[in-house]
A and B are shown apart, each in its own frame.
Chain A
């Protein structure tokens, strides 16, 4: 198809849509996936699901993971779609407590590493995982002859003054994960003291990952940011390589190994789903090798299915920490709101 044909086709599709009027809600020929803005899969993978199942896959995105879950809570009972993808271990308790999902134990769970099975009632199915880690700008540190920090404790040293940018845990998923990392590392009593010291050492707090990483962090390509340490993902260095204008020989950024907190993303069939059968097929598909293998390049997360091949850049630049920091989902569920309040009082007020 030439470009001109595509333009014509797009206009024709647009026109047809306008004439078609009311786009109806999900019938039995359609399965609707509600998810967050970061969800991304190649067209062929979507097409493969549609061909295998005979269902049209409609994807509804809007907002980050937290907003997506809240939207699902808002429309509980008469959901916008059939499957919700993007609830993570930090938010899972909220979804389960509200009875957002209906149970489904996919046969494909057999291929999933057992440590990801957070919900014994199978209301939510793990799909991928990733680690929120401190990233450092290697070039910046090399130019100044300072060694980059290697642990959370080092961040309070004077030589790292005014170098760290973090996201607000009240408004950002990685921000929340990093706060939980400090709680997991320093314990439920001492962690506010650590943040006191971080504050004294000039930590910068911003609302979301976009601002933290693309605007404030000096290591992101094209960024005018001035801070060489940021809360981001373990896969971010790989992304800097994959999406660089000219591929560098080594990644310009790196992760701080001892700072990583495990995030597991799950999918669940919404209560009130119009197409439960289709929803089950979709969950099965999301655990299939085809989908699992496509996730790293699209979403910068790691597959939960054992033995899924990884892209080259991931094998070379994305560090999977051997022992990430973790907290039980139930503990997070019980304390999350209280911790966020305490964090806000300590760091922002």
Chain B
């Protein structure tokens, strides 16, 4: 009996490790390995295609430049939402998420229309679009961390005679460092593997590893080159992740955890115009491309309820499929990511935390190809199963769940769990009674994020979505691909719907998190 109990406890822990591992092995490692193997056996070994060095260099420096610029735009906004309480703060937090979830096709076309003539394509356009996409990452990660920095440390420094500048350099900055590093790493990763933006705004002469893999695999059908470049990209991403997570765990000692509600205050004095200026600039930067979309959608809303040759369903139904798929994907991502976070939180932060982001380093095209040839025979015959769509979306969303939930779980005092155990709560019950509610805020935010990411996922979805169940990004893409003002209008209207759903989801998560916050 006692032995049974203890093995039950072990089974619980093993499950927390095994379920996410099995999921990754089956839906990530196996298909990817299958397509890589197919590619590598068709050519001569690991010989790099010509021009790879230039490709790698451009990929690297555009990502680095994009990251620096994104920090420049995102940090003032992080300061605004991390320090101050003002009307519409929640709305701002939700609003910055919108670019993040919009399909790149939509954003890229909006940018094409927005940017001044002669600058629509090329490096300035790429950088601008990357900033637009990733401001959310910097704002939310750094702003969130800023809001938990105990004001008293800065006040103590002030009493000790530190000037405003020295205080921010020697007190605030070290405490923000882990969040800054995490946000920079994530932004760099997104820009390093950026696809749609480079493809559309880069024009035919600008290629990154990711777009070149797509070119080689989907367009030129050179699987060997695609496989070699995929390996190169995975290796580069692994390197980035290991370096940044090592950096992060070195920095993480400086963190503090005050309650957001004790930190935020109303702006005073010169802070008022500064805050107003930051918000105004952000509103312009974030809203302009969206306004272009709204403008284009005018007059096309009626077409959402009309049959169209472009889709097998009425356009509005794509929203229903999108919400359903993203809902299931968020559930899968929460389960898989939550379990992984649980297992990960039992050890101090390390390289493994960074490596959970590795699925983001795989080219969506190669993964999609992998699905096609890895899941084509019994017992793994499900390449046309509907649930492969939310599974693929969850693959992209789950890493974020881990990254959001694991630190929250880590910050829970282990003695709470121990007390619960001495009061008669078995480990699983303790998890449900203590960890789950206490990390509830993180779970709510992760759920919102996962849903939004699944909602906007395009690269893998387009490969496996069935035509009678299109998602919004797929539907938008189909309409964009057809001539005529009406089709463009329908695409814009669907994009506005997508943005709307994303805002509502993010706001709801925000509300739920706030509710949890009050209990905490």
Q: Do chains A and B touch in the complex (CB under 8 A)?
A: yes
Q: Which of B314, B321, B483 contacts A300 (CB 8 A)?
A: B483
Segment with Cβ contacts to A, from B15-23, B171-179, B196-204, B394-402: B196-204
Q: Which of A38, A73, A348 contacts B205 (CB 8 A)?
A: A348
Q: Which of A23, A74, A222 contacts B386 (CB 8 A)?
A: A23
| Structural contact, B109 and A215, CB atoms closer than 8 A | yes
| Structural contact, B483 and A213, CB atoms closer than 8 A | yes
Segment with Cβ contacts to A, from B60-68, B86-94, B131-139, B212-220: B212-220
Chain B residues near A222 (CB-CB < 8 A): 296, 485, 488-489
Find residues 198-252 in chain B having any chain A CB closer than 8 Å to their own CB.
199-200, 203-205, 215, 217-221, 223
A307 within 8 A of B: no
A346 within 8 A of B: no
Q: How far is the CA of A20 from the CA of B384 in the complex (A)?
A: 13
Counting residue pairs across A and B whose Cβ atoms lie within 8 Å, the total is 174
B462 within 8 A of A: yes
B469 within 8 A of A: yes
Binary CB contact string for chain B from 287 to 313 against chain A (1 if under 8 A, 0 otherwise)? 000000000100100000101111110
Segment with Cβ contacts to B, from A59-67, A105-113, A187-195, A327-335: A59-67
| Structural contact, A37 and B478, CB atoms closer than 8 A | yes
Chain B residues near A297 (CB-CB < 8 A): 309
Chain B residues near A131 (CB-CB < 8 A): none
Chain B residues near A7 (CB-CB < 8 A): 320
Interface centre among A37, A38, A300 (most CB of B within 10 A): A37
B272 within 8 A of A: no
CB distance from B292 to the nearest CB of A (A): 9
| Structural contact, B466 and A60, CB atoms closer than 8 A | yes
| Structural contact, B483 and A243, CB atoms closer than 8 A | yes
Binary CB contact string for chain B from 451 to 486 against chain A (1 if under 8 A, 0 otherwise)? 000000000001111111100000001101111111
| Structural contact, A170 and B219, CB atoms closer than 8 A | yes
A42 within 8 A of B: yes
| Structural contact, A214 and B307, CB atoms closer than 8 A | no
Q: Which of B203, B384, B385, B469 contacts A206 (CB 8 A)?
A: B203
Q: How far is the CA of A4 from the CA of B219 in the complex (A)?
A: 42
Q: How far is the CA of A35 from the CA of B207 in the complex (A)?
A: 27
Q: How far is the CA of A205 from the CA of B203 in the complex (A)?
A: 7
- Beyond A61-B467, A80-B372, whether A43 also contacts B485 by CB under 8 A is no
Segment with Cβ contacts to B, from A9-17, A177-185, A254-262, A277-285: A9-17
Q: Which of B113, B386, B468, B483 contacts A239 (CB 8 A)?
A: B483
Q: How far is the CA of A37 from the CA of B314 in the complex (A)?
A: 16
Which chain B residue shows the least CB distance to A94? B221
Q: How far is the CA of A41 from the CA of B221 in the complex (A)?
A: 28
| Structural contact, A80 and B219, CB atoms closer than 8 A | no
B383 within 8 A of A: yes
Chain B residues near A66 (CB-CB < 8 A): 218-219
Which chain A residue shows the least CB distance to B480? A210
| Structural contact, A43 and B312, CB atoms closer than 8 A | yes
Chain B residues near A250 (CB-CB < 8 A): none
A85 within 8 A of B: no
| Structural contact, A75 and B372, CB atoms closer than 8 A | yes
Segment with Cβ contacts to A, from B181-189, B374-382, B437-445: B374-382
A144 within 8 A of B: no
- Beyond A63-B462, A206-B204, whether A40 also contacts B309 by CB under 8 A is yes
Report, as a range, how many residues of chain B touch the other chain.
35 or more
Q: How far is the CA of A78 from the CA of B373 in the complex (A)?
A: 9
A22 within 8 A of B: yes
| Structural contact, A58 and B376, CB atoms closer than 8 A | no
Which chain B residue shows the least CB distance to A172? B219
| Structural contact, B218 and A214, CB atoms closer than 8 A | no
Q: How far is the CA of A224 from the CA of B481 in the complex (A)?
A: 16
A118 within 8 A of B: no
Q: Which of A3, A20, A70, A210 contacts B481 (CB 8 A)?
A: A210
Q: How far is the CA of A265 from the CA of B466 in the complex (A)?
A: 22
CB distance from B506 to the nearest CB of A (A): 22
B387 within 8 A of A: yes
Binary CB contact string for chain A from 39 to 70 against chain B (1 if under 8 A, 0 otherwise)? 01111001000000000001111110011001
| Structural contact, B312 and A221, CB atoms closer than 8 A | no
| Structural contact, B203 and A244, CB atoms closer than 8 A | no
Chain B residues near A216 (CB-CB < 8 A): 112, 120
Q: How far is the CA of A63 from the CA of B199 in the complex (A)?
A: 14
Q: How far is the CA of A20 from the CA of B386 in the complex (A)?
A: 9
| Structural contact, B467 and A23, CB atoms closer than 8 A | no
Chain B residues near A70 (CB-CB < 8 A): 217-219, 221
Interface centre among A25, A80, A168 (most CB of B within 10 A): A25
| Structural contact, B484 and A244, CB atoms closer than 8 A | yes
Interface centre among B305, B465, B488 (most CB of A within 10 A): B488
CB distance from A308 to the nearest CB of B (A): 17
| Structural contact, B113 and A224, CB atoms closer than 8 A | yes
Chain A residues near B218 (CB-CB < 8 A): 63, 66-67, 70-71
| Structural contact, A23 and B384, CB atoms closer than 8 A | yes
| Structural contact, A170 and B462, CB atoms closer than 8 A | no
CB distance from B468 to the nearest CB of A (A): 7
Which chain A residue shows the least CB distance to B221? A70
A207 within 8 A of B: yes
| Structural contact, A207 and B483, CB atoms closer than 8 A | no
Which chain A residue shows the least CB distance to B484? A243
| Structural contact, A40 and B486, CB atoms closer than 8 A | no
Q: How far is the CA of A42 from the CA of B314 in the complex (A)?
A: 11
| Structural contact, A244 and B486, CB atoms closer than 8 A | yes
B80 within 8 A of A: no
Chain B residues near A102 (CB-CB < 8 A): none
Chain A residues near B109 (CB-CB < 8 A): 210-211, 214-215
Q: How far is the CA of A60 from the CA of B470 in the complex (A)?
A: 11
CB distance from A34 to the nearest CB of B (A): 10
| Structural contact, A221 and B484, CB atoms closer than 8 A | yes
Chain A residues near B477 (CB-CB < 8 A): 37
CB distance from B278 to the nearest CB of A (A): 29
B357 within 8 A of A: no
Contacts A214-B483, A348-B204 aside, 14 further interface pairs with beta carbons under 8 A come to A17-B469, A40-B308, A71-B218, A74-B221, A171-B219, A206-B121, A210-B480, A215-B113, A221-B485, A222-B485, A226-B117, A240-B483, A243-B483, A243-B486
Instruction: Give me the 6 closest cross-chain CB pairs, A-B, nearest first.
Output: A243-B484, A221-B485, A298-B309, A40-B309, A14-B324, A243-B486
List 23 A-B residue pairs with CB atoms under 8 Å apart, sorted by A's residue number.
Answer: A21-B385, A25-B384, A38-B481, A38-B482, A40-B308, A43-B307, A58-B467, A61-B467, A62-B462, A62-B465, A66-B218, A67-B218, A74-B372, A170-B215, A211-B200, A214-B109, A214-B488, A215-B112, A221-B485, A224-B112, A239-B483, A239-B484, A297-B309
